[in-house]
A and B are shown apart, each in its own frame.
Chain A
Amino acid sequence: MDYLLYTGCTVPLRAVGYEIAAIKVAKELGVNLLPMEEFTCCGYPITFLDNDSSMALAVLNICLAEEKGLNIATLCNSCTGNLTKANYRMKTEEKFRNRINELLSPTGHQWKGTIEIKHFARILYEDVGEEKMKARVTKSLAGSNIAPMYGCHYLKPSKIYDGFDHPDHPESMETLIRSTGAKPVQYVEKTLCCGGPILALGEEMPMNMSQRILDGMKREKADVAVVVCPFCNVMMGEYQSTIGDKAGTEYGIPTFYMPQIIGLAFGFTPKELGLKKKQVKKAFGDILQEDE
């Protein structure tokens, strides 16, 4: 199974460990995430300013993949959302298709409608499957309680995602967590918005929104949080102690990207997954035996 890996803007700048781990884990499961130098921004960051330009950037990247004849695998929820939405509209709305192809005309690219976009977690859930992943586990994470955080654009709007998972009661992330041997933590806040997209307008609102999610994880006694979007990680991980200070509590919930916890269960070292040894020890110290 070959995919072009679409890393977008945030992953190479703030979450390269996510990219490293995804490529490693994919390879173990017979999925090749191939590099593609020509990809640009997906357009999501300028949706608020001009949706036409935003959609045109998304379709530009879809065209680049079409010309290689390969489907796109994504890591960031916002990239997934913008690319999938653009592809969906190009397929279903003629007026939109003409409008965007016209904007693309100076670049020499035109949309053909020959490829699909899938989030890497969805590829693991749908195309690889739980059984194949379980069979590859050499270091079970049994004993760890891991809270899945879905983010928004991984699931919604659900009509563009062929209903691969339920928008309000999803279970694809729980399935992936279970395959590592760990126990998925159930909490009602798991599909709430982290507020990341409005961080540029001020910290207070996104911090409140993320606190609600962290409170849910803590209430249900999560040891670790797992995310599938670099924006969720900014809020759950990078902002966690600031949110904790504001809330007068210490959450102490280390945050990882999905391929990183799967990679740990596959026996990769922290370094091979773009992680620090200390980070992994803090989260899985009693569970993962050191054998280096």
Chain B
Amino acid sequence: MTVTDKNNVKSDEIITADQLDLNFKYEVAEEIGGEGILQCFQCGTCTATCPVRKFDPDFNVRRVIRLTLLGAKEKVLTSDFVWMCSTCYSCYELCPQNVKITDVMTALKNLAVKNGHAHPNVKVHIPILEEFGHLGEITEFENTIREKHGLHEIVQSPDKVKLIFEKRKLKLFMEGKLKDEGGE
């Protein structure tokens, strides 16, 4: 029976060279913090220290990096794995090649978004920030408690947050309609 793991690789699948995008690793390296990917020599220290992997052996950081270096772009960017990195930085601290794996995982998530594969549960943060400038509304209820304890009132203003998002054309990013222009 064929089994598909969380890296989107089928158990009996053979990946052929024509399926690979040899430029993918350079795309990752262009992202903020993604440059370290080119230094990986596949020792697996990241996988050994990953607290997520402890509870799901399918999640294998070393393998994601290998698939990325090989150029298996679609498999990596549509896999569940990239979203499960909790950014704990355990692997980042121990990597002997200074790959900065946590930042590479973030770069992969960002590329997944740009290619139209944003995780729906994570997407919701953008409209909330555009409305309140924070990840939630501070209402009269919170401010009354604050006043009782002598804390300052919080008046939320999303104006500057919105200006940054507009400049970045974040809406188009989220829809997978805009590739990174590098901001330069």
Contact B146 A16 (CB under 8 A): yes
The 4 closest A-B pairs by CB, nearest first: A193-B88, A156-B89, A9-B135, A35-B152
Check if B15 is an interface residue, CB within 8 A of chain A.
no
B126: Cβ under 8 A from any A Cβ? yes
Q: Does B118 contact A (CB under 8 A)?
A: yes
CB-CB under 8 A for A51 and B31, given A13-B142, A37-B152, A209-B86? yes
In addition to A16-B145, A192-B88, 6 A-B residue pairs with Cβ atoms within 8 Å of each other are A53-B168, A57-B161, A103-B183, A156-B92, A157-B100, A201-B122
Cβ contacts B123-155/A at 8 Å (1 or 0 each): 101100100011110100010011001011111
Could you tell me if B84 and A198 are in contact, using CB atoms closer than 8 angstroms?
yes
Interchain CB contact under 8 A, B113 and A198: no
Chain A residue nearest in CB terms to B84: A198
Interface members, chain B 135-183 (any A CB < 8 Å): 135-136, 138, 142, 145-146, 149, 151-155, 157-158, 160-161, 163-168, 170, 173-174, 180, 182-183
B169 to chain A, nearest CB (A): 10
Is B39 on the interface with A (CB-CB < 8 A)?
no
Nearest-Cβ distance from residue A43 to partner chain B, whole angstroms: 9
Counting CB contacts under 8 A, is B4 at the interface?
Answer: no
Residue pair A40, B158 in contact (C-beta under 8 Å): yes
- Count how many pairs of residues, one from A and one from B, have CB atoms less than 8 Å apart in the complex: 181
Q: Does B48 contact A (CB under 8 A)?
A: no
Chain B contact residues, CB within 8 Å of chain A: 31-33, 51-52, 54-56, 83-90, 92-93, 100, 102, 106-107, 109-110, 113, 118-119, 121-123, 125-126, 129, 133-136, 138, 142, 145-146, 149, 151-155, 157-158, 160-161, 163-168, 170, 173-174, 180, 182-184
Most buried by A among B56, B110, B134: B134
Given A13-B142, A40-B134, A201:B160 Cβ within 8 A = no
Q: Kindly report which residue of chain A lies nearest to residue B80, judged by CB atoms.
A: A201
Q: State the Cβ distance, B107 to closest chain A Cβ, in Å.
A: 7
**In this complex, what residue of B is CB-closest to A49?**
B113
A156 to B59, CA, bound (A): 22
Contact B164 A13 (CB under 8 A): no
A221 to B33 alpha-carbon distance, docked (Å):
41
Is A117 engaged at the interface, CB distance under 8 Å to the other chain?
no
Q: Which one of A94-102, A134-142, A252-260, A277-285 is at the interface?
A: A94-102
A288 contacts B by Cβ under 8 Å: no
Shortest beta-carbon distance from A67 to chain B in Å: 13
CA distance A95 to B33 in the complex (A): 12
Cβ distance A9 to chain B, nearest Cβ, rounded Å: 4
29 of the cross-chain contacts (CB-CB < 8 Å) are A10-B135, A12-B146, A13-B136, A40-B157, A40-B160, A41-B134, A45-B125, A47-B106, A48-B110, A48-B122, A49-B118, A49-B123, A49-B174, A50-B170, A52-B32, A52-B183, A53-B165, A89-B32, A99-B182, A99-B183, A167-B89, A193-B88, A198-B85, A201-B83, A201-B119, A208-B54, A209-B52, A209-B55, A209-B86
The binding surface of chain A is classed by DSSP as helix
- Contacting B109 at CB < 8 Å: which of A12, A41, A48, A153? A48
Given contacts A37-B152, A40-B134, A102-B183, contact A51 B32 (CB under 8 A): yes
Q: In the bound complex, do residue A48 and residue B83 qualify as a contact, i.e. CB atoms below 8 Å apart?
A: yes
Distance from A29 Cβ to chain B, minimum over Cβ atoms (Å): 18
* A24–chain B nearest beta-carbon distance, Å: 9
Contact residues in A for B106 (Cβ distance below 8 Å): 47-48, 51
CB of B93 within 8 A of CB of A38, answer no
Partner of B93, one of A60, A168, A205: A168
- The interface centre, meaning the residue of A13, A46, A57, A60 with most chain B CB atoms within 10 A of its CB, is A46
